[in-house]
Structure 1
Amino acid sequence: MTDAIITADDTIDITDVNCPITFVKTKVALDELDDGQILEVRLNSGEPAENVPRSVKEEGHAILAFRENGDGTCELFIHKVGD
């Protein structure tokens, strides 16, 4: 999406869990943030990298950036949108 530097308000690493727990942990972390804050999520490529961004969008949040790291992991930057 973009190569701009994004400063996250919080970061989680969910490379040690499988779907659907990947989205559950992401949702819990987003719930702890204030509206307008940014969450950085480090996750595995493949199913988590497909499902978590889709589920986050369905929840109404915005994806600011998605980066593949080249080591089988990705970074996802999510802008929390209020209810």
Structure 2
Amino acid sequence: MSDAQSDRYLDLRGTPCPTNFIRCRLALEAMRPGQHFQLDLDRGEPEEMVIPGLTRDGHRVEVMDQAKDWVRLQVVCGGG
């Protein structure tokens, strides 16, 4: 998957938990199944909470890029 396939982009670096997860869920509610969005998150708790939460909700999450203090994800809306 490339960035060009993303239908949306969220930069949630610096956004605390659980606000970052809530913003992801709201974005996904407005999307159709199969649509993609790119998401930038801080490492640590945000990464540990958001990725499993989105997966649990039926969305596919793939790490696209990462650095010492952030991670870039590609999320595919699962429609659930």
Same fold (TM over 0.5): yes
Partners of 1:47 and 1:58 lie apart in 2 by 17
1:73 aligns with 70
Partners of 1:46 and 1:55 lie apart in 2 by 14
Shift of 1:37: 0.2
Q: Secondary structure at the match of 1:41?
A: strand
TM-score w.r.t. structure 1 length?
A: 0.84
1:63 aligns with 61
Q: Secondary structure at the match of 2:14?
A: coil
2:79 aligns with 82
The amino acid that maps onto 1:62 is R
Partners of 1:28 and 1:73 lie apart in 2 by 21
Shift of 1:62: 0.8
Partners of 1:19 and 1:12 lie apart in 2 by 15
Gap runs ≥5 in structure 2: none
Partners of 2:42 and 2:63 lie apart in 1 by 15
RMSD: 1.5
Higher helix share goes to which structure? Answer: 2
Identity %: 24
Q: Secondary structure at the match of 2:50?
A: helix
Shift of 1:15: 1.0
TM-score w.r.t. structure 2 length?
A: 0.86
Partners of 1:44 and 1:66 lie apart in 2 by 14
